Structure 1
Amino acid sequence: MKIISLVLKYFPARAEQVKAGVEAVAGAAVAHDDGAGRMIVVVEDGEGYAVSDSIIQVHQVADIMSVTLAYEYSDEALALEEV
């Protein structure tokens, strides 16, 4: 399992369009939107897609000025240790 969080800066007048675009990305969900142009997005991997693909798709959503990776978690190393 992989989970990441992103901090987005976007044009505030386009908040609804940005939110809809982000939530259309596989595994992505808006965790917080301050309404002033900053949004926190959580992305989880899933069947048939990778977190890296979802990050690229979030970058391509219209009206987003910047995307910053704020947090990353992976339990893959734990699985290797258990073997």
Structure 2
Amino acid sequence: MKIASLVVRVSPEHIDTLKTALVEIPGVEVHGANIEQGRVIVTVEDGEGYAMTDSVLAVNMVRHVLSVTLAYEYTDEGLENEIEHPEPIPGLPLQAADGVGSAQDKEA
């Protein structure tokens, strides 16, 4: 699964047109808008037959879009291969490598 949150800037007079166009893009969902500031908050999620990145690009290409800012991105790809307890880095004290201990512990 891949998901992203975007802030889309648009001239206030085009917000309704933009929102209508955005929901036609696969995986795009509109969550809110600030009409005075010309901002629309959307999420984009991948799905069967389309990639999140393609949908993000499509958002950028919609008429009246002034800018798109990526606010958040998440993917769970590769998490099944994550190491629960990574090996310590050679030469680095164990306290620093595993995140245990404080600065005072290291000075003592």
Using the TM superposition, give the Cα deviation of residue 15 of structure 1 relative to its aligned residue in structure 2, in angstroms: 1.0
Taking the TM superposition and a 5 Å limit, the aligned residue runs for 1:2-81 are 2-36=2-36, 37-81=38-82
What SS class does the counterpart of residue 25 from structure 1 fall into? coil
Structure number with the higher strand fraction is 1
TM-score normalised to the size of structure 2? 0.72
Cα RMSD (Å): 1.2
**How many residues are aligned here?**
82
Moved over 3 A (4+): none
For residues 30-68 of structure 1, the C-alpha deviation after alignment (integer angstroms, 9 at most, x for no partner) is 111111200111000000000010011000111110001
Instruction: Tell me which structure has the larger Cα radius of gyration.
Output: 2
The TM-score with structure 1 as length reference comes to 0.92
The letter for the 2-side match of 1:25 is I
Shift of 1:9: 0.6
Aligned partners of 2:81 and 2:16: how far apart in 1? 42
Q: Which amino acid aligns with 2:20?
A: A
Unmatched segments (≥5 aa) in structure 2:
84-108
Work out the CA distance in 2 between the residues paired with 1:68 and 1:79: 29
CA offset at residue 79 of structure 1?
2.6
Q: Which runs of 5 or more residues in structure 1 are unaligned?
A: none
- Counterpart residue identity of residue 7, structure 2: V
Where relative contact order (Cα < 8 A, 6+ residues apart) is larger, the structure is: 1
